[in-house]
Amino acid sequence: MDEGGGRRVVVGVSGSLGSLAALHRAVGEARRTGAEVLAVLAWEPPGGEFGYRRFPCPPLLGECRRLARERLRAALDAALGGADPGVRVLSWAVRGRAGEVLVRTADRDADLLVVGTGPRGVPARALRPSPARYCLTHASCPVLAVPPSPLRRDLEALHRRSARRLRLPPDGPVAGAGRPSRG
C-alpha cells in the first residue's frame, strides 16, 4: 500500500448483494479519481470477542481467519468476475466489528469510505447495529452510502409472493406428519 498518503477508496465487503454493489461503486470512484481500492472484510470469532475471551480456542480462531479470507476472495471474484478492474485492488480480512474496522481503516483525510446499505427492519437493527450507520456517524473521512439496487426490491417482492402461495392449508398438518400412533 502507498504509505505516502495516496488516495484510497476503502470499501466494506461481506459478500452480501449490498456490499457487492458498494464494491462496484468503489471501483468506479477509484477509476474516476485515480485512487486505489482497499476492500475490507471484518470478521469476529463465533460468539463475538466476549465469547472468545471466555473460551479461547486458537485453532478455531485460525480457521475463522482462513474462512474470512476465503469469503473475501469469493466476494471479489463474484463482484469483479476475474476481470481487470483498471485500478489497484488490495484486500484485507480484519478481525473486529465491521463499522469499527472500516472507520479505523479509512483514517486518512484523502480516503473515501464506501459502504452498502440494505433493507433492515426493526428486529435486525435491534440485534445488530448497522455498520453503514456506524460509519456515517464516526468516520473522519467522506462516506458514500450505496443504497440497495431497485432489482433487489423486485426480487424480494417476488419472493414474498411465492412464499404466500406455498403456505400450508390452514386446516392442519400434512397427512402422515402428526404424532406417532400408539399401538
Contact (CB, 8 A) for 130 and 120: yes
Grid coordinates of 75: 466476494
Supply the DSSP string of 126-160, one letter for each residue: HHS--HHHHHHHH-SS-EEEEPPPHHHHHHHHHHH
Each residue's pLDDT tens digit, 23-53: 999 999 999 999 999 999 999 998 888 888 8
Q: CB within 8 A of 147, min separation 6: which ones? A: 117
Each residue's pLDDT tens digit, 49-98: 888 888 888 898 899 999 999 999 999 998 888 888 999 999 999 999 99
The CATH fold assigned to 8-165 is Rossmann fold (3.40.50)
Domain boundaries, the chain: 8-165
Element (H, E) at 59: helix 58-80
0.85 exceeded by pTM: no
Mean pLDDT value across the chain: 82
